[in-house]
Every structure is written in C-alpha cells, then in structure tokens.
Structure 1
C-alpha cells in the first residue's frame, strides 16, 4: 500500500477537511477570494471533488457556515445560576471558538447581496445549535424561580444574543466583558426576574 493511499481522505473526513479549509480561506482572504479554486488548493484536493458536493461557491459558503455553527456549538453550562449560565454562553459566543466576529466582519465587508444571503439567513445557518444550548439554561432558571416564565417571550429570550450581534455589527470585534455583564445584569435579568 502506497503512502498516498494510507493518507487519502474520504467521506466525512474529507468533507470536514474541505469545510475547515474553506473557513480558513474565507477568514484569511474574504469572500472576494473565496473561490472553488482557492478552497481546493487550501484543502489540497481537486476542484471536481468540491463540485461533486457543492455546485456553487454560495452552496459551499452555506455548508461552511453550518459547520461552524455545529462544530462551535456552545456547551450547555450549569454554573448554578441563570446569570452565570448566560455569561458563560455569551462569553463562548464572543470567543474565537464562537467565530461570530470573524464571520460577520468577513461577510459584511463583502456585502450580503453578493453572497446571496441575508443577515437573517446567516443567523439561521450559523446558530441552529444555539437554541439547544440556551433553552435548557432558561428552563432550569424557571424551575429555580429565577425567571418569571410569563415574562419570557421568544423575543426576550433572544435579547442577550440580539444585543451581542448588534455589538459585533457595530465594531466587527469581540465584545468587551464589561458589555456582556451589562447585557446580562442591567438589561436581561431585570426584564425576566419575578416581581
């Protein structure tokens, strides 16, 4: 068996390697240079291998975003209080593991219209796993009596992340921890606490 045969990537391993290389290409060089050629070269594979999976670079981009949202899904924290759990989730999303700042910077600077995706679609693609991390945290807080369930509308539940997204869009940088504390302590918790 040759050395090349032993190291040949196939199936899910190959797809993961391509999507990781595509993410690196996107963040390093922006959407303008996010091409099938560039991704194939970075992934050390051929263009036909990519075209068998994704017919356009927009399809490839969506797959990259979905993978980032899945690979970087926040672990479900259990720090003993709603405040600490929310801070853990926001800090994770704000970290390099969360990748939101890098992605927003790259895509906004490339114009959403050019990539065939609106910010709402980006959010849906990137954060399919986020609701599964936030929901148990909020459910636990209701059981502990930290939240009035009647006050927890879908929009209020999304508020900490909506404010985090706003900060990203205004600065294209990770959000300072004091801002995360303000989002949780001064804005979110007063809205949901029992009277």
Structure 2
C-alpha cells in the first residue's frame, strides 16, 4: 500500500486498525512497526512518534477496539447482577486480547516502560466503578450492609477473568463465571460488608 497523506484522527484510526488486523491475523509475536506502517499506508517514523514501543501500540489498538462500557447491570439481585457484569467483561476478552496480554506480560518483564504501559492499561480498562455501583445498588435493596470495598476487591473478578483469558487463551465459560461469583466473590463481599 502506498503512503497516503493523512493527519490527526484519520491517521491514528488507520494505524490502530492496521495494528488490530495484524494482531488478529498473525498475533502479537508478529507485530512490527514496519508491518503496521505498510498496512496503514504510512511510514514507520510516523507510527513510532505516536507509540514509541510495540507494547504501547498493541495496548492502544486494544483500547481502540474495546466496546464502550455499558451501564452496570440491574437485574434486581446481587448474584445475577455480578454474573451479568462478569459475563459482559468476559465478552470483551476474546482470544486475541488474551494472546496479546500474554505476549506483553512476557515481553515487558524485562522492560520497565513496557511494564508501566501494561499496568496503566490494566488500571484504565478495569471497570471497578461498575462493580462498586452493583455493590451499592445491592446495599440500597437491603441485600447487604453498605460498605466501601477496597479497590483490590473491586478489581478481583476482572483480574480473574483477565487471568483466565491469558492462561487458557479464552475468556472464562459461564460455569467459571458462576464459580467466580458464587465461590469467591459473594462470600468475600458478604464477609467484608458484615464487619
């Protein structure tokens, strides 16, 4: 593809779409600045100016393709709200994202900048505010006492989903989500809110 003169959002969109296409078709291991530039119809220096590392480029492409966050589910019961919330989160973690995160984790282990980019992406992409809203709504309904849960507890179910996607190459099944909610999350939330 020959280079086309584009700027701003149009150029960024083309680069991120090209990056996602390479990640989807060839995987993180095959992601190169040269391949992205060629597919996007631009030059490597243009891509490098915006994203200095391969990790930052891959994470930007994952952000670019994530669906917009939905409202926290309101099914009328804490358990089913949590199952639906985790189901929505798991749907956002397809095999490509799991493979990219596994590749990034391995690569960034020796790269402080890449590690910082990965940690920032995980913090940014974890919907703990939606989890807090589900818990607050359950307290309003009288299902549990009102309490501010620690951020680590609010992140926990999403960390488990991300772990499953990375380790097993796919998001957790419906049975696994039921287990995360019933065996881990509900007992923990009830213990912390009953103190």
Q: Normalising TM by the smaller chain, what interval? A: 0.7 to 0.9
1:86–1:8 CA distance, 2 compared to 1 (3 A): farther
TM-score (norm 1): 0.75
Indicate yes or no: 2:136 matched with 1:164: no
Please give the TM-score of this superposition, normalised by the length of structure 2.
0.75
Give the drift of 1:38: 0.6
Task: Name the count of aligned residue pairs.
Answer: 184
Q: Which residues in structure 2 correspond to 1:18-29 (within 5 Å)?
A: 18-29=15-26
Q: Specify every segment of 5 or more residues in structure 1 that has no aligned partner in the other structure, as ranges.
A: 1-6
Partner of 1:128, secondary structure, is helix
**Superposed CA offset, 1:107-137 (max 9, x none):** 424623378334x853530451423332322
* Partner in structure 1 of residue 98 of structure 2: 104
Deviation at 1:143, TM superposition (A): 1.9
Counterpart of 1:78 in structure 2 is 74
Q: Which runs of 5+ in 2 are unaligned?
A: none
Q: CA RMSD for the aligned pairs?
A: 3.0
Of residues 86, 96, 103, the one that matches 1:90 is 86
For residues 130-184 of structure 1, the C-alpha deviation after alignment (integer angstroms, 9 at most, x for no partner) is 2333232222222222233448333322222232233223312121101101111
Compute the displacement of 1:30 (Å).
2.4
